[in-house]
Amino acid sequence: MSEKRKKKVGSIAIPFLVTIFIATLLVGGAVYFIYHNFIGKKDDKIKEPPPRNGSISVSAEDSHTILLVLDDPEAPSDSNATFVLMRSVPYKKNILFIGVPSNSIFYSQKENTQIALKDKYTRGGAQAAEEFIEEALKIDVDKYMVFDVNSFEKVCDLLGGVNYPVDIKLNGYPGDGTLETLAADEITKYLTYNKFPGGEPERALKAATILSYMINGSDGDRIATNFDRYFSEIINMIPNTNVTAVDYDKKKSAIQYMFNFGSGISIAACVDGTDAEKDFIPSESFISNLPEEYFGEPTEPPTRPT
């Protein structure tokens, strides 16, 4: 009797389980069909993010000229400020440093008299010096930056110093033209030295050359990566400039492009001209005779990948 009962229970359980299984499949399939075709239809594809702009334009409009002035109030009384033009052409990955002798003079048509650069600077500061250079060299100067010893040496430290053939006896160096590694304070002493055989034109050329050496010897990727911090540190130290945060934002990407993708980007020159006893008369044709890539007509600009 018990065996019959067991058989009966088993025979009922198996069809019951099969029925449950089939029902589950049918219900599950129906639910999937409804979700897939009605509820989930709107989300069956992952939405793609908006496309990124694949490049940043670097154009001739990013080119600019800045007057750099090193003015050491603690220098000997017969020393003069140091003047260097920095012409940056980021889309061609070029920087040209041009030394301007502090004893430069010329006859100004605007003022109808002969004027001297150091006198203009002494009386009117960097803006007056900028005006002198614009008229004397027939060039547009966009901005100026005046460095004292502390701010200039900060720049030297950020760039990593310089290896330079020292030709004067300085800090124990023999002065025979041997390549020496100069720290920031030694660079300042060298550039403010006022007894070079070639006078102020030679000192101006050496100032431009050392700046060029520092740029070419620096790590371009490091400068580009830390450019925001470097600018903030320097701009808060220099005593006088008309460079603003807005100016920086406009040029930052182009300058970073230049340092990221350029190599040996800088060269140096000194204003050509004529010695006139203790004075120097700059050539009005100097700028027009420079290589075309610095002041020539712009060519098709490149783009920088993001």
- Residue 54 within any structural domain of the chain: no
| Residues 139, 277 within the same domain | yes
| Residues 156, 36 within the same domain | no
- Residue 241 within any structural domain of the chain: yes
- Read off the CATH number of the domain in which 138 is found: 3.40.630.190
pLDDT class for 292, splitting at 50, 70, 90? Answer: confident
Per-residue model confidence (pLDDT) at position 191: 93
Per-residue model confidence (pLDDT) at position 298: 61
- Residue 147 within any structural domain of the chain: yes
- Residue 51 within any structural domain of the chain: no
| Residues 208, 246 within the same domain | yes
Summarize the confidence of residues 266-278 as an average pLDDT. 94
Task: Check pLDDT > 60 for residue 195.
Answer: yes
Q: Which ranges constitute the DSSP H helices of the chain?
A: 2-34, 117-137, 149-159, 184-191, 199-217, 220-225, 227-235, 245-261, 292-295
pLDDT class for 18, splitting at 50, 70, 90? Answer: very low
- The pTM for the full model equals 0.79
The rounded radius of gyration (Å) of the Cα atoms in the chain is 35
| Residues 37, 158 within the same domain | no
| Residues 19, 159 within the same domain | no
Mean pLDDT over all residues of the chain? 83
Higher pLDDT, residue 33 or 72: 72
Query: Please, which residues have CB within 8 angstroms of residue 135's CB and are 6 or more apart in sequence?
Result: 106, 108, 109, 110
Per-residue model confidence (pLDDT) at position 149: 95
| Residues 22, 91 within the same domain | no
| Residues 156, 100 within the same domain | yes
| Residues 248, 288 within the same domain | yes
- Residue 31 within any structural domain of the chain: yes
Per-residue model confidence (pLDDT) at position 4: 45
Q: What total of structural domains would you count in the chain?
A: 2
Task: Check pLDDT > 70 for residue 69.
Answer: yes
Cα gap 239→150, rounded to integer Å = 10
| Residues 9, 83 within the same domain | no
Q: How far are the Cα atoms of 10, 103, 222, 290 from residue 106, in angstroms, in the given order?
A: 119, 10, 42, 20
- Residue 174 within any structural domain of the chain: yes
- Residue 53 within any structural domain of the chain: no
| Residues 160, 228 within the same domain | yes
- Residue 34 within any structural domain of the chain: yes
**Residue pair 298/60 in contact by the 8 Å Cβ criterion:** yes
Task: Check pLDDT > 50 for residue 145.
Answer: yes
Summarize the confidence of residues 80-98 as an average pLDDT. 96
Which two three-digit tokens encode residue 230? Answer: 């470097």
Higher pLDDT, residue 108 or 293: 108
Higher pLDDT, residue 59 or 303: 59
Which residue range is the domain that position 133 belongs to?
61-298
Query: In the chain, pLDDT over 70 holds for what percent of residues?
Result: 77
